[in-house]
Structures are given as C-alpha cells and as structure tokens.
Structure 1
Amino acid sequence: MRSVRHLPLARGYERGVLPLPDGVRARGVQRADAGLVPPDLDEDRDGQGGERLLQVGDIARAVGKTVRAIHHYEEVGLLRPHARSKGRYRLYDRAAVTRVRWIGKLHDLGLSLAQIQEIVALWESAPSAPEAMARIRSIYLQQLEETRAQITRLSSLERELVASIDYLDTCDTCDPEELVAACTDCSVHDRTQAEPELVAGIHGGNGHSRGGADR
C-alpha cells in the first residue's frame, strides 16, 4: 500500500455497511433504533470509575451511523470494545463515540478506510509520543493543503454556476416555437457576451456554436 501522503483522495465510503431493509435483521445484529436491551446487560454497563458503558446501538444513534457500520469498523481494527457483558455483548466507553466521529471526519476529507487504517498504524508504531503526533500533524497538513485547493476549485465552479444561471434567466423570453437547434445561434443574448462554458458545453459537441463558428 502506498503511503497516505501519496494516496489520491478516495470518494467512496466503506463497502458492506449499508443499513438493513426494514423488517430484516441479521442474526446477532440489532437495528440502532430497536430500543432493546438484553436482560443481562444493565448490570454490566458500569465501567471503571462508574462510567456508563455503551452498547453498539447507543453509538450508532449518537453518531448517525448504522449498527453494521460500527461492527465493520471493529472488524477492520479501527474500533475495539471496552468490555463485554456476561452475555458477550460488546460494550464501549465514551471514547468510542469520539473515534467513530473521527472516522467520519476523515471520510469527509476523502480518505478511505484503508487510509484511515494506515494513519492509525503510523500513530501506533511511533517510537515516542512526540513522533506519533508529528506523523499525524504531517498527514493533517497535507489534508489541509488539499482541502484548500478543493475549496478554490469549488469557488471557481460556484462563480461559473452563478454566471450560467444569470445567462439562462433570459432564455424564457425566447420564442416558445423555437427549436433547440436555435440555441447555437441565439438572437436573445448580446453577441458580444461570451456564452458561459457550462452552457456552451451542452451544444458544443454537435459541430455548431453561436454565430456558426466552431469553438
């Protein structure tokens, strides 16, 4: 696997973590909204220091993800239960909620689960605390640069969309009997006004353009 620093942004989310259809429940997996607590669970949910431990459904509700997604994070090593009840149900501390939200934020940055696994491995394998944090800082610095570059691209697209919508706002004055082909030689718009690329691109591949000249 290539280093996180050289991996392209991944737009997909984790595979195999779609919610179950209504009325369908995999064996041993509860829906997050089921509201069911096994009879042996209540007595086991107090952790060290009196902290109330969480069931997987509690975490799913807190972060807005499915129970299956939480289980998947555990399967790939990104989440570990704090303890298990007498009935072997997974129990988590509050740090698990923070970890799942962290995974979600890295997803929003475009990182795949494999890249997030690598970040965790880099942190855990560091020989010292300062080195561990330096590694994380380096990764976050690159993500900041990529995020800012993406913001610049999106800002440019925003301006193009606004210009295109302004241009198209005048099209409702066109003769309703005109055929679509007339759009390549429109008489409604000022011919000195450049047609926005987001508009010109619609008919730009048919061999014609405004004024009859190829662009």
Structure 2
Amino acid sequence: MSSEHMQIGEVAARTELSLRTIRHYEETGLVTPSARSQGGFRLYTETDIARLMVIRRMKPLGFTLEQMRDLMDATDRLDSGEELSAEEREEGLAQVREFERMAAERVTDLQTQLARAEEFAATLRERLAPVRLA
C-alpha cells in the first residue's frame, strides 16, 4: 500500500469524523475513496481528507447534504483543470460566492446565539453568587 493512501480509520482520526459518518458521506456521493486495497479496504488521499474537512465545516452551519454536494460539484468543476468557458467558470464562481454569503450569514447568526447563551450563563452565575458566599 502506498504511503499516500490511508485507510478509513486513519482518516476518521485525522478528520474527527466517525467511520459511520465517512461511510454515510460515501453512500450519499459526497466523497469517494480514491482507491481500494487488494483486500477491498477503502483508501483515501490528502485530497479526500480535504474534501471531508469542507463537509465537516459545513455541517454545523446547517447546510444540507444536497447543498454540500452542490458546492462540491462547483468546486470540482473549477478545480478540474479542464477548459471551462467564461460562462461556465463564472457560473461556478457565482455558486461558490453564494455559499460564502450563506456561510457568513450563518456565522453571524451563530455568534448572536452564542452571545445570548453567554448572557444566560452569566445571569445564572450572578443568581448563584450569593448562594456561594453563604
């Protein structure tokens, strides 16, 4: 086995995703192992890991599997090295820009939620402060 290829266990450790999640992403077409060993084990490359990391970062922002697939398709086309027409290239870039906009919006929403959660925790600490002093 080439040192460039990793089995699913190493990929799971590096990405902090479960084996089940990685297999699910494979079943849904989000990521495909680059190769299989003679024994049939899935083999992944650094490129596959990078793809899984993008997916992992999209998940907490609430992107659906379909949206993840759409972004992956757009970036795959842009990164394919094949000659794209100006229109195809701009369409792909427009899709990526839209995902960037949605991600920024969701990050702002999460920051607001975090601030509210921190305020709530502070309120509870203040309420318990007199009890701790007693």
Pairwise TM-score range, normalised by the shorter structure: 0.7 to 0.9
Residues 131 and 167 (structure 1), Cα distance of their counterparts in 2 relative to 1, 3 Å cut: same
Aligned to 1:77: 29
Counterpart selection for 2:90 from 130, 137, 149? 130
TM-score normalised to the size of structure 2? Answer: 0.74
1:14-50 per-position Cα deviation (integer Å, ceiling 9, x unaligned): xxxxxxxxxxxxxxxxxxxxxxxxxxxxxxx33xxxx
Q: Which residue of 1 aligns with 2:7?
A: 55
The structure-2 alpha-carbon separation of the partners of 1:121 and 1:168, relative to structure 1 and needing over 3 Å to count, comes to same
Percent identity over the alignment is 26
- Write 1 or 2 for the structure with the bigger share of helix: 2
Deviates more, 1:73-82 or 1:56-65: 56-65
Quick one: distance in 1 between partners of 2:67 and 2:92? 16
Unaligned segments of structure 1, at least 5 residues: 1-44, 175-215
Larger radius of gyration: 1
Structure 1 residue 173: Cα displacement: 7.4
Deviating 4+ runs (over 6 angstroms): none
Residues 123 and 132, structure 1, Cα contact 8 Å, conserved in 2: yes
**Alpha-carbon offset, residue 77 of structure 1:** 0.2
* 1:79 counterpart SS class: coil
Q: Kindly report the root-mean-square deviation, in angstroms, between the aligned alpha carbons of the 2 structures.
A: 2.7
Question: Structure 2 CA distance, aligned partners of 1:66 and 1:167?
Answer: 40
| Structure 2 unpaired stretches of 5+ | 79-86
Q: Deviations over 1:107-154 (max 9, x none)?
A: 122223343234334556786233212211211212212221331232
Q: Would you say how many aligned residue pairs link Structure 1 and Structure 2?
A: 126
